[in-house]
Structure 1
Amino acid sequence: MQASFALLEKYSKPGPRYTSYPTAPYFSAAFSETGWRAELVRSQASGRDLSLYVHIPFCDSLCYYCGCNMVATQDYTKATAYLEVLFDEIERSAQVAGGGRVVRQIHWGGGTPTYLKPADILRLAHHLRSHFRVDDGAEVGCEVDPRELSRGHVGALKQAGFNRISLGVQDLDERVQRAVNRLQPLALIRQVYGWMRSAGFNSINMDLMVGLPHQTVAGFNATLDEILAMSPDRLAVFGYAHVPWLKKHQKLIQEPDLPDFATRLSLQELIQRRLSEAGYVYIGMDHFARHDDELVRAQQQKTLWRNFQGYTTHRDCDILAFGASAISQTDAVYAQNFKRLADYHASMAQGGLPIERGLRISHDDKIRRDAITRIMCDLELDKAAFAHAWGLDFDTYFAQSLTELQTLCADGLVEITPDRVRVTETGRIFLRNIAMAFDAYLQQTQGAAPRYSRTV
């Protein structure tokens, strides 16, 4: 990858990550529980399978870089109370949505799902399966913090039916770890990883992060040496999103300690080179997988999809999401639960579903969502196929988008031909910028637009 400093400086600007389109800042409180209940009933007739997401917001301690909806506490009674409310939400949603649809995917995120005690992991897993029809071959994944993890947790995850694990590592440099309040030595990572392999988990992802305070190319290269020696099946190497206006605790990170543009560029080049040499395929948006991974096959077959859990092979699934801040999705609606724990509990105490806001999307939203998703998953847009699928003239419908892409085309990030729009090798690092050309909401005045993290 030969991205230059000038390109990085030019295109490193605020922009969405496009886990949804329209993006979450455009969800509205005008969309209420009533609208979501009606959508759940309507969606039963769609024949679409289900993906279930469960949000466990608790962590033992605060990682200063964290952008998730979480609560740092060592008071486990808060988790016990939360689980009882969560069980009620699962049951109420199943009653409205109908229990006959097949669940193809389950994902637990947080916070830290393994904050839960092993017995509670089993209770929650059983509760989900008792209210939904989970396919025997379902993909069942969990995010894991290696700190505080026991072999009992690993055994409970395996017994509960999990077959995919995402292990949070971020960086192995002790100075970096101290700066973000996440101490976890290499010996601990090796131990937990070994437990997972011994238990029979055959798909393990490791999360790394670049852009953290005090990171250097030499230091991160040493981290990659150790991680690649363990040979995880997938790697997600996220760019740190410094958004202290949204996450107040990020003010605990000293901005002068963050890597400069030149270092970040060198880190990106290092990641691409080392992971490619180690046999990993770059999927896009920070994600890498082994060449025989199902994500790679799906990308080659143009069946890869992207949702709130990241890249997935489960394109035609509605998402039912449970817990504080969790976002559900059908083909036509997004619905988000109350973010604050107290509001989530209070809403559930009223006997309904805890919807704080949402959005019923327009036909134009669906078209642009598909275009953005295809860019991020296929790394190209076949104009004729897209036009046929949506009944439109591609160049006419996306005239403004194509005009905006001309600058990126001139800089070698994208190629535009009469037949297709294709992301170049250099452009892969700038996927968010390319997708932004198709985003009608970004045409709003700057004062009304939400603030995002930098794209690179």
Structure 2
Amino acid sequence: MHTLPPFDADLLRRYDRPGPRYTSYPTAPNFSEKFDARAYREVARASNADPIPRALSLYVHVPFCLSPCFYCGCNRIITRDLGRGETYLGQLQHEIGLVAPLFDRDREVVQLHLGGGTPNFLTPELLEALIASLGREFQFSTRSDRDFSIELDPRSVNPDGIARLAALGFNRASLGVQDFDPDVQAAVNRIQSVEETLAVIDACRRYGFRSINVDLIYGLPRQNLAGFARTLDSVIAVRPDRLAVYSYAHLPDLFKAQKQIKHEDLLAPDMKLRLLELAIEKLSAAGYRYIGMDHFALPEDELSLAQEKGSLQRNFMGYTTHAETDLIGLGVSAISHIGNSYSQNARDLNSYVTAVESGRLPVIKGLQLDADDELRADLINHLMCQGEIDKRGLEARFDIDFDQYFAHSIDLLPPLIADGLVIVDKDFIRVTLRGRLLLRVVAMCFDRYLQRVAEPARFSKAI
């Protein structure tokens, strides 16, 4: 678990198919409009009635960006009108006023994350007002291990802004970099210097942030080995605690901004694989551990330590040490995970605004998990975090005969066993080091919502 997985280009090529990232199970495409605001209120009420109610996590989505990054598939709105931030804050405050009373006041918030879009599109004054609003309506934990994190665009924040974020209680930051190569940056419309990025990292450390994550992408237009090597070297030199190294998926029919990318600038599949291999080699040499699903961390980082202890979790915010909470999503398109349910807010801003300004929860769809969903969610979460399935543990928790219950899924494993991705014995199904880059392929065998479950080799967009 503490060694980066070996790189096998042929293996990755054969398993390179689309598949879920499993930040939830069931995944968002399976949510139903039958789950509405009334259902949300019911699950909130039930969560308060638990003998020991869970602590809370808050996610706030800020959709605005000053300019489009052509590779982006996030739910965002491009505008240079900073006044829209103040308007949106008012709408968030409406929603906070609707949602907070549904949860008992003594349930502490141990995790807060601002995502986007570009959360620092909001001015420092607006961010201060947002945190104040949340602090009035929810009880922020004073524990030393609470996580208050924010995604930052280094192009639109300065050291003074970092100081103000630290004063608000933020202690984690995630910075988008993608690639420092000027030619690549021109192709994706994101011009960002090494100097301004490193200045933000330095400021985060100077003002007491205990963890810094950097996002990179491989497979972007015009990327090459020499340029990506320079980017990796520049990032590794400042030792971020965590890195996410994502695969670029070119889907212009789904994400309109990607239509701005020239076809002739796209990479051949073999070059994309070589970029991934380069990233693994350099991160391994620098001492980073592979956590799973594109994520790497230093050995002393909390994600690495949680994986060692078997307490690592996964949710819509990615890998976390605080997933044993009820997650409340606020803002346009935000997703909540309360009790054994998922729900999502309206994805378009007009629908979201219409709901909250008329005093209605903006929930448009969701899902109440049944017993089978909960069982498979437990299995897949443990697989994605620990790289194994504890058959006897699941039997004890869910009162099943594992081999009988999952007979169809087990029938799908022999090709993966033959390829050296998994090892199966009477008590465990373990992903091998060779299979760590293909966790999704294994998870998909246990996903009853996938229509083509009989062909596991065609599931995962591994690269």
Give TM class, smaller chain: over 0.9
Tell me if structure 2 keeps the 8 A contact 1:298–1:304: yes
- The 5 Å alignment of 1:34-45 reads 34-45=38-49
Amino acid at match of 2:75: N
Could you list the runs of 4 or more consecutive aligned residues of structure 1 that deviate by over 6 angstroms after TM superposition?
none
CA distance in 1, matches of 2:459, 2:188: 21
The aligned counterpart of 2:214 is: 206
Tell me if structure 2 keeps the 8 A contact 1:114–1:153: no
Tell me if structure 1 keeps the 8 A contact 2:329–2:336: yes
The Cα of 1:453 is off from its aligned counterpart by: 8.3
The Cα of 1:445 is off from its aligned counterpart by: 9.3
- The 5 Å alignment of 1:318-329 reads 318-329=326-337
The aligned counterpart of 1:455 is: 462
Q: 1:435 aligns with which of 428, 443, 450?
A: 443
Q: 1:254 aligns with which of 253, 262, 268?
A: 262
Amino acid at match of 1:57: P
CA distance in 1, matches of 2:445, 2:264: 32
Amino acid at match of 2:268: D
CA distance in 1, matches of 2:213, 2:91: 30
1:233 maps to 2:241:
yes
- Judged with a 3 Å threshold, the aligned counterparts in structure 2 of structure 1 residues 347 and 50 are, in CA distance, closer, same or farther, namely same
CA distance in 2, matches of 1:257, 1:144: 27
CA distance in 2, matches of 1:452, 1:162: 38
Deviations 1:246-269 (CA, angstroms, capped at 9, x unpaired): 212212223442222222222222
2:203 partner SS: helix
Tell me if structure 2 keeps the 8 A contact 1:337–1:344: yes
- The 5 Å alignment of 1:47-86 reads 47-86=53-92
TM-score (norm 2): 0.94
The Cα of 1:274 is off from its aligned counterpart by: 1.2
Q: 1:31 aligns with which of 23, 31, 35?
A: 35
1:147 partner SS: helix
Identity across the alignment (%): 46
CA distance in 2, matches of 1:11, 1:331: 34
The Cα of 1:241 is off from its aligned counterpart by: 2.5
CA distance in 2, matches of 1:452, 1:52: 32
The Cα of 1:2 is off from its aligned counterpart by: 4.1
Amino acid at match of 1:440: R
The Cα of 1:202 is off from its aligned counterpart by: 2.3
The unaligned stretches of length 5 or more in structure 2 are: none
Amino acid at match of 1:454: K
The aligned counterpart of 1:330 is: 338
Q: 2:115 aligns with which of 109, 124, 135?
A: 109
The aligned counterpart of 2:419 is: 411
Q: Which moved more, 1:146-155 or 1:76-85?
A: 146-155
Amino acid at match of 1:96: L
CA distance in 1, matches of 2:259, 2:286: 36
- Judged with a 3 Å threshold, the aligned counterparts in structure 2 of structure 1 residues 200 and 437 are, in CA distance, closer, same or farther, namely same
The aligned counterpart of 1:357 is: 365
State the Cα RMSD in Å: 1.7
The Cα of 1:308 is off from its aligned counterpart by: 0.2
CA distance in 2, matches of 1:344, 1:232: 36
Deviations 1:254-300 (CA, angstroms, capped at 9, x unpaired): 34422222222222222222112111111001111111111111111
Amino acid at match of 2:136: S
Tell me if structure 1 keeps the 8 A contact 2:12–2:462: no
Q: 2:9 aligns with which of 5, 20, 38?
A: 5
